[in-house]
Amino acid sequence: MSVILGKGEHRYRVVEDWAKLPEGWEFKDAAAVACDSKDRVYVFNRGAHPMIVFDREGNFLKSWGEGSYPRAHGLHIDANDILYLTDDAGHVVRKCTTEGKVLLELGVPGKPSAYMSGLPFHRCTHTALSPRGDIYVSDGYGNARVHKYSPDGKLLLSWGEPGTDEGQFNVAHNIVTDAEGWVYVADRENHRVQVFDGNGKYETQWVNMSRPCGLYCCRGAKMQFIIGELGPGMPVNRNMPNIGPRLSIVDAKGKALARLGGEAGPGLETGKFIAPHGLAVDSRGDIYVGEVSYTEFPKAFPDTKIPWRMRSLQKLEKLD
């Protein structure tokens, strides 16, 4: 029996065992996922094969990046099918072709800036592009910054500092832009998404969420956002209902339109999540959810052994 998440116009069927991995392979943490113009699905993961590519039916196509990405974290694909990969343990962002050829590199691989120095990068997390191709990088684990680069890799400006006030960050974990150039930052441990103009001027914040981790902008006539929420991070409330882990769909002002999952805490059962970390949507409106399940499972279930080939990627098929 199929599991359906959401209601009304936001209904999705969970597709069981969508990704057909080669024998003996596993994702480990599927940190990020993205779709190109042909609806090929790229899974940036922490297993032995960092980039694994599927068609929209889940058939394996290819892999690349072996030995080059110590800890996959963020992935963005632009309108020309150019990939932007963020490796937080490598402290580097790479602009690549769909075959993995590096076109541009930001940061010095393996050499972080000083902790909380504000200089790029110390465990950078994700990228987004402005309408004119400027590159935004959220520098979120060892810094509390957003950096803006020109398309050819020149650092233009940076903003943000540690804290909880407007324009401050406590783990700037994900970043997206819209067609008008507004910048949205998932400020994870401050339980909010902050909104800025293209030069870092604070505009507003959305706060109806629990540890926003994944962030995706659905552009179009009716712009919406999908937010992957980790939910509780402490043992005292880890199994508290109705606060995640889950996906939330919100409108352009951050108003919640739908919640998918999260009613009864984390789990590996169909329709539940462990740690929704990376999000993508294909041309038909189906959602792909990458989860850092191997990292989060011991925290959620400290007395349970991690299962072999634990689920780290889910597909939610949009229903009419």
Q: What is the pLDDT along the chain (320 residues), one digit of tens a residue?
A: 789 999 999 999 999 899 999 999 999 999 999 999 999 999 999 999 999 999 999 999 999 999 999 999 999 999 999 999 999 999 999 999 999 999 999 999 999 999 999 999 999 999 999 999 999 999 999 999 999 999 999 999 999 999 999 999 999 999 999 999 999 999 999 999 999 999 999 999 999 999 999 999 998 888 999 999 999 888 888 888 899 999 999 999 999 999 999 998 899 899 999 999 999 999 999 999 999 999 999 988 888 988 877 899 999 999 98
Contact 230, 211 (CB under 8 A): yes
Q: Which domain holds residue 8?
A: 4-318
Amino acid at 127: T
Q: Encode 27-40: b = buried (16+ Cβ within 10 Å), e = exposed.
A: bbbbbbbbbbeeeb
CA distance 207 to 222: 21
Nearest alpha-carbon partner for 263 in 2, 7, 1: 7
- Cis peptide bond upstream of 121, omega within 30: yes
Residues with Cβ within 8 Å of 147's Cβ and at least 6 positions away in sequence, in order, are 120, 121, 136, 137, 139, 155, 157, 158
How many angstroms separate the Cα of 2 from the Cα of each of 252, 270, 302?
A: 31, 9, 29
Contact 118, 130 (CB under 8 A): no
Grouping H, G, I as helix, E, B as strand and the rest as coil, residue 249 is strand
Counting every residue, how long is the chain?
320
Contact 182, 194 (CB under 8 A): no
Hunting for tokens 């990458």 — which residue is that?
290
Number of structural domains (the chain) is 1
Hunting for tokens 């065992």 — which residue is that?
17
Other beta carbons within 10 angstroms of residue 67's beta carbon come to: 7
Residue 168 is part of a domain; what is its CATH number? 2.120.10.30
Q: For residue 42, what are the β-bridge partners? A: 34, 53
Amino acid at 93: V
* The two three-digit tokens of residue 146, written as one number: 């957003």
